[in-house]
Amino acid sequence: MSDIGKGYVQIYTGDGKGKTTAALGLALRAAGCGLKVCIVQFMKGRHYSELDAVPMLQGLVTIEQYGHPTFCRFTDPPDPREVERAHEALDRLESLMDSRACDVLVADEIVTAMKFSLLTEDEILAFIGRKPQGMELILTGRGATPALIKAADLVTEMREVKHYYRQGLQARCGIES
């Protein structure tokens, strides 16, 4: 473990593009300083280009997916298998945190998992409360609640101003996927 000081809790939220991209950018920056980064992706199981890039970072960054290959779709009540996958991801995050396996721990789409009722706000707040000194914790996803925002040290809200998806453009490899 490297000395990054206290370590803070960061949240990237909002309806705009770029939450995961911001977390991956931070992971790249951290790896450039020799920090170890563990990324756990909620609700994602399909191939994204970052999965191909991570091995190029010589073991400094790991990424694990806990989701269905077609991403999770909102249903009310939620699909029990998606709830199970979300709790598997949370268990993995807690294991990584407890073992101090990394300097930077990224919970990608954990906030969206809460929004889809796969996890509760209380579960996420308890997880944040377990963060040890010297570890940076990054949470991403749409719909951060006031309680999550209060628990964080840094919150960035991505807001869509204009997006070419509105004109029918599909996701492009290396840019959106």
CATH number at residue 59: 3.40.50.300
Say how far apart CA 132 and CA 176 lie, in whole Å: 33
Residue 172 placed within a domain: no
Helices (H), the chain: 19-32, 50-53, 80-99, 110-115, 121-129, 146-151
- Tell me the three state secondary structure of residue 156: strand
* Sign of the C-alpha dihedral computed for residues 153, 31, 24 and 59 taken in this order: negative
Provide the residue-wise pLDDT of the chain in tens; the chain has 177 residues.
Answer: 567 899 999 999 999 999 999 999 999 999 999 999 999 999 888 788 888 888 888 899 999 999 877 766 677 788 899 999 999 999 999 999 999 999 999 999 999 999 999 999 999 999 999 999 999 999 999 999 999 999 999 999 999 888 887 788 887 777 777
Residue 177 placed within a domain: no
Residue 175 placed within a domain: no
Number of compact structural domains in the chain: 1
Residue 87 placed within a domain: yes
Neighbours of 98 (CB within 10 A): 10
pTM exceeds 0.75, yes or no: yes
